[in-house]
Amino acid sequence: MAGRLVMGDLRVQEVLGSDGRRAVTIMNADGSVHAAAEGFLRDCAGGTDRTYGYLLVDHLRWLEFEGLVPETVRLQDLRRYMGAVGAEFRGPYGGAWRVGKRPYGQSSLETAAACLKAFYRHQGGRGVNPQLAEEFKGVRLPTKADRRRAFLGHTLRELPTNPLRPAGTVRRHPKMPPDGARRELVKAGGSARDRMVVTWLADGGFRIGELCGLHLADLHLREGAACGECRTAHVHICHRETNPNRSRAKTKHPWRVEAETVRGGAIRRVSPAMIHTYFEYVTVEYPRDTTHGMLLVQLHGPRRGEPWAPAAARGMLRRAGLRSELGRINPHAFRHAFASAVLDASGGNTVVARDAGGWASAATVDEIYGHVDVHDPVFSAALSAVWEQRP
């Protein structure tokens, strides 16, 4: 059958059913309905059939081009298809069967993977190519995220709920800081404290309230801290109701002070740049005569030395952003960027459990840290990768 058709003559067609419902189907070159596609698209939920129709017609055209048919195609062929359709460069399969079309982007690749899985499982349910349908129970089609993961030498330990769903996918959150924001803000002058705040937001993914709520005692910046909870440099984010600057950490992990050492709370790893900016701030600007023990303090005016409030920190970022012509800088944007970068660098798989789904817009720094041992090698590698990209 495939040999009889002229390449590319398969097409998507919208049909108006007798019930007035618009449906999508795939037509053969001779005007007949593509039976397998028709059965599948009929069973797709409303709205999905249209998207799947166009993705499936691409796939069916490719099968023809390759001299393959849905009845006998194998998983390795489908992998090749995903590679061809997502190729950024025209390889041996890149051009001829999709002349003038751009490669699929990440989100189309995801949808195509879901579509193919659904299609071949649907086929399997009708007794067609059951071996392939069986294979879809435990494997994923490769995506760009897989390539990144392979590059990091990461092995898959855990499959997402939907085995076809590319786990490492990271959607750019709309609230990312502008390009170069960290570099420009650090360069913009200001105080060592302000440089520290920008660096800690960018490298640590803190909420501004968490950052302003830190006490010096929460900082365990030397290797092998007495708490014994994290070997490398870290801080403990501890919820306190009574901070004089009224900052409160949102996370309420239990914490305590034992033998003058803070234990528990939410642990965050600390980058070399964070340590560097901390020491610069503490040695140059931190007033010697403070007794409140909080990390961030006011540097000027009659309340010099008093704890710095989150609202003041926001104001500093806003003004620095305007001075540097970056526009309005929202501290939370750094948190999104951090989460996104870590997910990106880790392939999103071990680091973020399936409920976070690898979607940066949904995943927060808390979820990332909440689902991983702070010394997980994949997580550590991802953090290092993120920190090394920094200027």
Residues that bind Zn ion (CB under 5 A): 220, 225, 227, 229
- List of residues 6+ apart from 289 with CB closer than 8 A: 305
How far apart are alpha carbons 75 and 131 in whole angstroms? 9
Tell me the closest approach of the beta carbon of residue 235 to Zn ion, in angstroms.
8
Comparing CA positions, the residue from 30, 124, 20 lying closest to residue 75 is: 124
Comparing CA positions, the residue from 336, 219, 198 lying closest to residue 267 is: 219
Complex with Zn ion: residue 148 or 253, whichever CB lies closer: 253
Complex with Zn ion: residue 227 or 342, whichever CB lies closer: 227
Complex with Zn ion: residue 213 or 331, whichever CB lies closer: 213
How far apart are alpha carbons 28 and 61 in whole angstroms? 10
Burial environment of residue 341 by CB neighbours within 10 A (0 to 12, 13 to 18, 19 or more): buried
How far apart are alpha carbons 41 and 79 in whole angstroms? 22
Tell me the closest approach of the beta carbon of residue 270 to Zn ion, in angstroms.
10
Tell me the closest approach of the beta carbon of residue 232 to Zn ion, in angstroms.
10
How far apart are alpha carbons 375 and 187 in whole angstroms? 32
Tell me the closest approach of the beta carbon of residue 216 to Zn ion, in angstroms.
13
Tell me the closest approach of the beta carbon of residue 374 to Zn ion, in angstroms.
10
Tell me the closest approach of the beta carbon of residue 375 to Zn ion, in angstroms.
13
Complex with Zn ion: residue 191 or 380, whichever CB lies closer: 380
Comparing CA positions, the residue from 37, 50, 35, 55 lying closest to residue 98 is: 55
Tell me the closest approach of the beta carbon of residue 229 to Zn ion, in angstroms.
5
Tell me the closest approach of the beta carbon of residue 224 to Zn ion, in angstroms.
10
Phi, psi of 307 (to 5 degrees): -55, 145
Tell me the closest approach of the beta carbon of residue 277 to Zn ion, in angstroms.
19
How far apart are alpha carbons 96 and 116 in whole angstroms? 21
Complex with Zn ion: residue 164 or 237, whichever CB lies closer: 237
How far apart are alpha carbons 177 and 333 in whole angstroms? 5
Residue number with the smallest Cβ distance to Zn ion: 227
Q: Check the CA dihedral 135-140-143-149 and report its sign.
A: negative
How far apart are alpha carbons 182 and 179 in whole angstroms? 8
Complex with Zn ion: residue 223 or 289, whichever CB lies closer: 223
Complex with Zn ion: residue 158 or 223, whichever CB lies closer: 223
What residues pair up with 267 in beta bridges, in sequence order?
236
Complex with Zn ion: residue 85 or 214, whichever CB lies closer: 214
Q: What is the maximal distance between C-alpha atoms in the chain?
A: 88
Complex with Zn ion: residue 142 or 265, whichever CB lies closer: 265
Tell me the closest approach of the beta carbon of residue 52 to Zn ion, in angstroms.
51
Tell me the closest approach of the beta carbon of residue 269 to Zn ion, in angstroms.
11
Report CA dihedral (127, 130, 133, 139) to the nearest 10 degrees. 170
Complex with Zn ion: residue 231 or 292, whichever CB lies closer: 231
Complex with Zn ion: residue 167 or 383, whichever CB lies closer: 383
